[in-house]
Amino acid sequence: MEVFVYHTPELTPADTLPDCAVVIDVLRATSTIATALKVGTCAVQTFSSLTDLVNASQQWPASQRLLAGERGGAKVEGYDLGNSPLDCTPELMAGKRLFLSTTNGTRALQRVTEAKTVLAGALINRQAIVNYLLDHQPQTLWLLGSGWEGGYSLEDTVCAGAIASLLTQTASYQVGNDEVIAAIALYQQWQDRLGELLQQASHGQRLLRLGCNQDLHYCASLDILDIVPMQMGPGLMMTF
Ligand code: MLT
């Protein structure tokens, strides 16, 4: 088995897809997806386009849907929610379908939507994702960071390193590209200070300016959710 890290969707090879892709958007889309599923949302349907989100959500009964939209870190006006994992409570979400569009994370999910298996990974569910990968052993695995508008994001690469460091300690997974080694080195350097790293990251700074301090704290917590969000239809994330 080979594991590859790509920092952004733009850096992935254009002509191929892996057996399994783990899409990572620590701040905050994949942290929100994992949390929403943990508190009882029946599914999170993801869209890169807000128009597509609105059209699809209208096919769903109003009492059973929630619309979450984020652009530039802020909630899209008129939506029920932005993209804070801390807004995901059982009272609000249990039994509902969450329709979600974010600046980068949902776009990264779309890039690999045709892969055989697509998972949503974050620091909060890192161990659950690793357990799935060790049990199912896909031949080729991409750990795909969402980045920020085509650029590199520290927090996604440190999470890729956190996953890859556990996988490559086993005999099952070989390093597929240099980015894996770099991501593991980043994780090893910061593993005891993940909160500090997220505060230094450019999107962490953006979220701090928007007052989202608690989101950073939560998203930096390692292995707190035993949830594997898996794509069950195009863009449709459910619990495995
Ligand atoms: C994104 O998709 O870019 C993010 O999840 C942004 C955020 O809500 O912090």
pLDDT in tens, 118-143: 999 999 999 999 999 999 999 999 99
- Among 152, 150, 173, smallest CA distance to 163 is for 173
Bond before 97 cis per omega within 30 degrees: no
Instruction: State both tokens at 38.
Output: 């943990």
Residue 1: partners with Cβ closer than 8 Å, 6 or more residues away = 137, 138, 139, 140, 141, 172, 173, 174
- The answer to whether the CB of 134 falls within 8 A of the CB of 171 is no
| Coil, helix or strand at residue 81 | strand
2-239 maps to CATH 3.90.1560.10: yes
Residue 58 to residue 31: CA distance in whole angstroms: 25
Sign of CA dihedral 31, 184, 142, 50: positive
Pocket of ligand 1 (CB under 6 A): 25, 27-29, 70, 73, 83, 102-105, 146, 207
pLDDT string in tens for the chain (240-residue length): 999 999 999 999 999 999 999 999 999 999 999 999 999 999 999 999 999 999 999 999 999 999 999 999 999 999 999 999 999 999 999 999 999 999 999 999 999 999 999 999 999 999 999 999 999 999 999 999 999 999 999 999 999 999 999 999 999 999 999 999 999 999 999 999 999 999 999 999 999 999 999 999 999 999 999 999 999 999 999 998
Strand partners, 151: 148
Q: What are phi and psi of 188, to 5 degrees?
A: -60, -35
Q: What is the pLDDT of residue 11?
A: 97
31 CA to middle of ligand 1, Å? 10
| Coil, helix or strand at residue 69 | strand
Strand partners, 6: 144
Strand partners, 141: 3, 20
105 CA to middle of ligand 1, Å? 6
pTM exceeding the 0.85 threshold for the entire prediction: yes
Q: What is the pLDDT of residue 143?
A: 98
Instruction: State both tokens at 212.
Output: 């989202």
Nearest-atom index, ligand 1, CA of 28: 5
Nearest-atom index, ligand 1, CA of 212: 9
- DSSP-assigned letters across all residues of 84-126: -GGG--HHHHTTPEEEEE-SSHHHHHHHTTTSSEEEEE-STTH
Nearest-atom index, ligand 1, CA of 108: 2
Q: What is the pLDDT of residue 127?
A: 98
Q: What is the pLDDT of residue 240?
A: 86
28 CA to middle of ligand 1, Å? 5
